[in-house]
C-alpha cells in the first residue's frame, strides 16, 4: 500500500471544512495512519516547500501556510497519491472540476484548501518532515477486503 501526506491548509481550517475534507478520503476507503493539528513553523514550511524556492509565489506560499493552524495527515491505500490528487482537483479552485475538493469548495489559486504529495518520493520526504519515524499508527483494517476486493473467491 502506498502512503501520502495531505495538509488541510489554514483557509480550510478557518472555514471549518476539516470534517468535510477528511470524510471524502475516508469514504473513498483510505486509511488515516497519522493525524494532527498544528501551526507550521517557518523553518518547516521552507523545508517542505523547498522545491518551489525561487519561484514567484514562494514567499506568499510560506506566509500563507504559517498563518494559522493546519491539519496534517498521512493516508494509506492503493494508488493513494494519484487518487488523492485527482480528488483535490486543479490548483486553482475556479478551474477545478465540480466533484473535486477544490471544485466544490474553493475559488482561489492561492487559498486552495489542501496540499497533497505529488510523488512517492515527495510523500516519503514530507511524511518524515511532519511525523518522523515513529509518528504513524499502522494497523490492518478489516474493511480493506471490501474496498479493494482482496477477498478472493471467499467473501465470508
CATH of the domain at 143: 3.30.70.141
Total structural domains within the chain: 1
Tell me the residue range of the domain where 40 lies.
2-147
In a domain, 156, yes or no: no
Active site annotation includes 115: yes
Catalytic residue among 115, 126, 130, 131: 115
pTM of this structure? 0.89
Residue 144 confidence class, pLDDT cut points 50, 70, 90: confident
Average pLDDT score over residue span 58-68: 96
- Output the CA torsion 79→81→86→87 (10° steps): 100
The strand ranges marked E within the chain are 2-8, 31-38, 70-77, 114-116
Report whether pLDDT(145) > 80: no
The answer to whether residue 155 sits within a structural domain is no
Residue 36 lies in a domain: yes
Residue closest to 70 by CA, chosen among 92, 49, 96: 49
Amino acid at each position: 500500500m502506498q502512503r501520502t501526506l495531505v495538509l488541510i491548509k489554514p483557509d480550510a481550517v478557518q472555514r471549518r471544512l476539516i470534517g468535510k475534507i477528511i470524510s471524502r478520503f475516508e469514504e473513498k476507503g483510505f486509511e488515516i495512519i497519522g493525524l494532527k493539528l498544528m501551526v507550521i513553523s517557518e523553518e518547516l514550511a521552507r523545508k517542505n516547500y523547498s522545491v518551489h524556492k525561487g519561484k514567484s509565489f514562494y514567499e506568499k506560499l510560506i506566509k500563507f501556510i504559517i498563518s494559522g493552524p493546519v491539519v496534517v495527515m498521512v493516508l494509506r491505500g492503493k494508488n493513494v497519491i494519484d487518487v488523492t490528487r485527482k480528488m483535490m482537483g486543479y490548483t486553482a479552485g475556479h478551474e477545478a472540476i465540480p466533484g473535486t475538493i477544490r471544485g466544490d469548495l474553493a475559488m482561489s489559486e492561492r487559498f486552495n484548501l489542501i496540499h497533497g504529495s505529488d510523488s512517492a518520493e515527495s510523500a516519503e520526504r514530507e511524511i518524515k518532515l511532519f511525523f518522523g519515524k515513529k509518528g504513524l499508527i499502522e494497523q490492518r483494517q478489516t474493511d480493506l477486503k471490501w474496498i479493494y476486493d482482496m477477498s478472493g473467491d471467499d467473501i465470508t
